[in-house]
Amino acid sequence: MSHISPIIWQFLVKWMTNFALFPPEASKIAPQMDALYFFMVLVSLVGLTIVILLITSFSILYSKKRHPVAVQIEGSTLLEATWTIIPLGLFLVMFVWGALLYFRIYTPPANAMNIYVVGKQWMWKAEHPGGQHEINALHVPTGRPIQLTIISQDVFHSFSIPAFRVKREAIPGRYTSVWFEATTPGTYHLFCTQYCGTDHSHMIGDVVVLTPEDYKKWLDGSTSGSSLAQNGERLFASLSCAACHNTRPDARGPSLANVYGSRLTLSSGQQITADDAYLREAILNPSQHITQGYAPIMPTYQGQISEEGVIDLVEYIKNLDSDYRVQQTTASTTLLPEGEGNTTKAPVAPGANQRAPQGMVKQ
């Protein structure tokens, strides 16, 4: 689809980009999206031309001067069928084409690199798996599929990068995702495209696309010291998750090693895949979906962990491919006595629950 008359195409896009009439095409999906867009514009222009021509010619040909006495026309099935079937065909083409693109844009490939984006009044925060944080900025490498896992901390926002032709709602309480593959190094706009309060118009920033080498340099220069998974491990210890999620034979909670991506059977008999969204739900609304074979004893952590904290925990659990780390955590945490709720917090190492101070956030 990206090969439709490439020459006129490139010329048109370049010209419009030059006059700031159109965003540049900086991702793999962008030319495909534009092909559909220009097809729709073309169909509309042809339709508009036909209507204008007919109105003008009819008003001249059938004016009262030429035809003082009106002639009654009884209609024509052929004509009506024609003007129904042709537009229907055109609309169906748009529908199928649009649906194919839609599924592409919202289905991240399995090898995509994941970056978390948290929207709040009025800024965008991006968190890279290595622990790099950015505010109103997003650094990404070229030539690699990037998945964004997006959530809002307050109201509805919408994360949009016009040059990549991607946009996704940031919804409070739910992860959404979108993906893209950047093609051209440069700096592009990012916007909030959903009115979200007084300073909505300031909820903007820069997407900086770097070559893979420059991206690596940027990553190395922006580390905050610990990765998201490491922050998550500290939270896991300080919230005493290991009081139940430990590997002892009498553990009250399931082992979380390799739970990410696995199929779980719930006590309702329903089967689900433990993806990011499920892990988040399992921590914040445990009573909503009890894993088969376990008692509904896990307390909710709603209101106790920030959205970023939840991301850290999710990253930690995602990366747990054995029980080794949990055992380490268990060893350093005082376990709760059997039967007791976890309202009493286990002693916490000083500073264990602290996140990177704001000063370390890269702009």
Q: Which residues bind ligand HEC (CB under 6 A)?
A: 236, 239-241, 243-245, 252-254, 256, 259, 264, 279, 282-283, 286, 290-291, 294-298, 301, 313, 317, 342
Q: Apex CA 98: angle with CA 93 and CA 99, to 5°?
A: 105
Shortest Cβ distance from residue 276 to ligand HEC (Å)?
A: 11
For 156, counting Cβ atoms within 10 Å of its Cβ (0-12 exposed, 13-18 middle, 19+ buried), the class is middle
Cα separation, 146 vs 112, whole angstroms: 5
Asked whether position 282 contacts Cu ion by CB under 5 A, the answer is no
216, 218, 221, 222 alpha-carbon torsion, rounded to 10°: -110
Closest to ligand HEC by CB, 167 or 289: 289
Nearer to ligand HEC, 122 or 260 (CB): 260
Minimum separation from the CB atom of position 139 to ligand HEC (A)? 29
Instruction: Choose from ligand HEC, Cu ion, none: what does 192 bind? Cβ within 5-8 Å by kind.
Output: Cu ion
159 binds, among ligand HEC, Cu ion, none (CB under 5 to 8 A by kind): none
Out of ligand HEC, Cu ion, none, what residue 252 binds, judged by CB under 5 to 8 A for its kind, is ligand HEC
Give the 3-state secondary structure of residue 105: helix
Residue 355: name its binding partner from Cu ion, ligand HEC, none (Cβ under 5 to 8 Å by kind).
none
Instruction: Find the shortest distance in angstroms from Cβ 243 to ligand HEC.
Output: 5
Size of the site for Cu ion (CB under 5 A): 4
**Could you give the CA distance from residue 121 to residue 196 in angstroms, rounded to a whole number?**
7
- Terminal CA-CA length for the chain: 38
Nearer to ligand HEC, 133 or 245 (CB): 245
Distance CA 313, CA 235 (A): 7
CA-wise closest residue to 248 among 139, 333, 320, 158: 333
Which residue's CB is nearer to ligand HEC, number 23 or number 286?
A: 286
Secondary-structure breakdown of the chain: helix, strand, coil percentages, each rounded to the nearest 5: 40, 20, 40
**Which positions from 157 through 216 interact with Cu ion, judged by CB under 5 A?**
157, 192, 196, 203
The residue among 203 and 314 lying less far from Cu ion, judged by its C-beta, is 203
CB of 130 to Cu ion, least distance (A): 26
